[in-house]
């Protein structure tokens, strides 16, 4: 932010605040990856991913066929 401000780019606080949870989650995931490995990264990143949440919900409820069977 300091670099942008020093170059005349105004802070757009609405967008900064909107992006904050995503940035914090990404930082947590990167720290976890460095400390605990790649699996920890994906566990944290996917926790906020709506598509992953919905897929897991479908698998757990029996709505989705799991494991996926190859078509013959």
Q: Give per-residue pLDDT as tens, 9-68.
A: 999 999 999 999 999 999 999 999 999 999 999 999 998 899 999 988 998 898 887 777
- Distance (Å, whole) CA 53 – CA 66: 15
Q: In 10 A of CB 60, how many CB atoms?
A: 10
Rounded CA-CA distance 66/57 in Å is 12
Of 69 and 23, the one with more pLDDT: 23
Let me know: does 33 contact 41? Beta carbons within 8 Å.
yes
Alpha helices in the chain (DSSP H): 2-6, 13-36, 38-47, 50-61
Q: Could you state, in order of their start, the residue ranges of all structural domains in the chain?
A: 21-72
């Amino acid at each position: 932010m300091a670099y942008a401000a020093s170059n005349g780019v105004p802070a757009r606080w609405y967008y900064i605040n909107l992006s904050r949870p995503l940035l914090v989650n990404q930082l947590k995931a990167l720290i976890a990856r460095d400390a605990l490995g790649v699996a920890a990264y994906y566990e944290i990143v996917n926790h906020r991913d709506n598509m992953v949440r919905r897929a897991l919900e479908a698998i757990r409820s029996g709505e989705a066929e799991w494991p996926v069977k190859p078509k013959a």
